[in-house]
Structure 1
């Protein structure tokens, strides 16, 4: 069933966690304990991200610097501008909490695993995808709080907000990431042999962050501020955003005459937003009661991008196969 409808089982776990937090939120001492546990989980998560990053794969893709610049421009320039334009145009009719969450969605880095998987499925440049997605995540540790300081504070940079967020992210995300990467020569083989265990740890930490965040948000009256109409609005905004970014990334690839392999990297790395990085970054930047509201648009966008990009990757694969067949026929002729 999951395969046929392209449903991500992890998304079902996320919504089950959200429901659990709605009916049995952590309160009092339990909330404090979950908060400490969540911070420890985030540190572990980014330590593992650093340890997983293969220097050889990154070095292999570094030559396509022009491609990486276009991916980064899509992730950290085009996305925020689109988010700002959409929310400015529709602001009077939108719940302010939706606006904040939607803008946060627009400033988080690209995914790693699914971007690489979709690029491979489309017969794209996998080494460049590894480099682009990894670079996006590393730079996102700094770019996301910078953009948050600008976009989430009325269009003007708030130095105190930025410095506070940078200190939190530096200690909780960047430092563990660097330590993990420096330890890769020691633990890299273990990490590579136990990718399934590492993946489960990733998802377990995200579920923990989501439960802690939504528990705090529910206690603060989350569902008195959101209704079905708000959720439908978020889905519509996410769909419009994804459609525009996919169109612009393909147009950028065609205008710059990228080959099929590099076009796939630009489309699939440029259009993605990372739940694995976005949720911990939100957890490090905002108060627990705010995090649930901030990541809701990202959670819905995550599933939408998987469905749409999986279908698009298959279309790219068919086009690639047809191109190869035409070349064979031309050579035989």
Structure 2
């Protein structure tokens, strides 16, 4: 494997390596999940890095870019659930009542607050638009996800709206606001460390991936066929 390949695709290589590590050495990942506060702190740090690196005028401009926002929201809450419903019916194991609800729960939700901005940054995409869409889609999740699940599987889901709004403010909006406030004063002084600011969110995502697979290690090791069906539906 050449050095150029690793330099360009190191994130994907490490991500794939972390999956078996999480399955067979889950201890540290379980500790991270059990503590409860570690992941929110790292999410806040990631959003702070993102806010610090974003151009304020571009952020305001993207907030009104409905030609981009509407298709993304439609794909999240219409296209993805419809496609997932069809795939789940096709791939679900016979007699398994949980496969369809699990797929629909995954498909009916917005992208995670933690990964959306970092992955967009890594791909060189429009970070400001990604932030706007992420905040809007996660806000709409409170209303649309229960509706989709009720229509698809007859499940009734309720969210603690106040807790979700408070959580979004504390770990997403507040860190981004702090980053934006610090940007005019510190941006020019951080040129030497900007590469590290770009890599840091990717490292945090890798931590989340490891912790996620570690927390589900027991069930994933036991359900090999089910895991393959689930991945195929994804």
Aligned counterpart, 2:12? 11
- Contact 1:21–1:218 at 8 Å: present in 2 too? yes
Q: Secondary structure at the match of 1:194?
A: helix
Post-superposition CA distance 1:57-88 (Å, at most 9, x none): 446xx3995xx212111111133211221233
- Contact 2:52–2:176 at 8 Å: present in 1 too? yes
Q: 1:141 to 1:16 in 2, by over 3 A?
A: same
Q: How many residues align?
A: 219
Post-superposition CA distance 1:203-257 (Å, at most 9, x none): 11111111222211114x13334536325513xxxxxxxxxxxxxxxxxxxxxxx
Q: 1:25 to 1:178 in 2, by over 3 A?
A: same
Aligned counterpart, 1:224? 222
Q: 1:197 to 1:157 in 2, by over 3 A?
A: farther
Post-superposition CA distance 1:34-74 (Å, at most 9, x none): 64332221111111111111124446xx3995xx2121111
Aligned counterpart, 1:214? 213
For residue 157 of structure 1, report the CA deviation from its aligned partner. Answer: 8.2
Aligned counterpart, 2:41? 40
Q: Secondary structure at the match of 1:183?
A: helix
Aligned counterpart, 1:178? 177
- Contact 1:145–1:166 at 8 Å: present in 2 too? no
Aligned counterpart, 2:132? 135
Q: Secondary structure at the match of 2:26?
A: coil
Rg larger in structure: 1
- Contact 2:29–2:215 at 8 Å: present in 1 too? no
- Contact 2:44–2:175 at 8 Å: present in 1 too? yes
Aligned counterpart, 1:87? 84
Higher relative contact order (CA 8 A, sep 6+): 2
- Contact 1:149–1:157 at 8 Å: present in 2 too? yes
- Contact 2:50–2:179 at 8 Å: present in 1 too? yes
Post-superposition CA distance 1:17-43 (Å, at most 9, x none): 121110011279834566433222111
Distance 2:111 2:30 in 1: 34
Post-superposition CA distance 1:300-333 (Å, at most 9, x none): xxxxxxxxxxxxxxxxxxxxxxxxxxxxxxxxxx
Q: 1:55 to 1:218 in 2, by over 3 A?
A: same
Q: 1:222 to 1:77 in 2, by over 3 A?
A: same
**Two-structure CA RMSD over aligned residues (Å):** 3.8
Q: 1:192 to 1:150 in 2, by over 3 A?
A: farther
Distance 2:11 2:30 in 1: 28
For residue 102 of structure 1, report the CA deviation from its aligned partner. Answer: 3.6
Comparing 92-101 with 10-19, which one deviates more in the overlay? 92-101
Distance 1:204 1:63 in 2: 27
Instruction: Report 1:114-193 matches (<5 A).
Output: 116=124, 129=126, 131-152=128-149, 158-193=157-192
- Contact 1:38–1:212 at 8 Å: present in 2 too? no
Distance 1:112 1:28 in 2: 25
Q: Does 1:72 align with 2:69?
A: yes
Q: Which runs of 5+ in 2 are unaligned?
A: 93-98
Q: Which runs of 5+ in 1 are unaligned?
A: 118-128, 235-296, 298-333
Q: 1:70 to 1:157 in 2, by over 3 A?
A: farther
Q: Does 1:113 align with 2:112?
A: no
Instruction: Report 1:170-319 matches (<5 A).
Output: 170-219=169-218, 221-227=219-225, 229-230=228-229, 233-234=232-233, 297=234
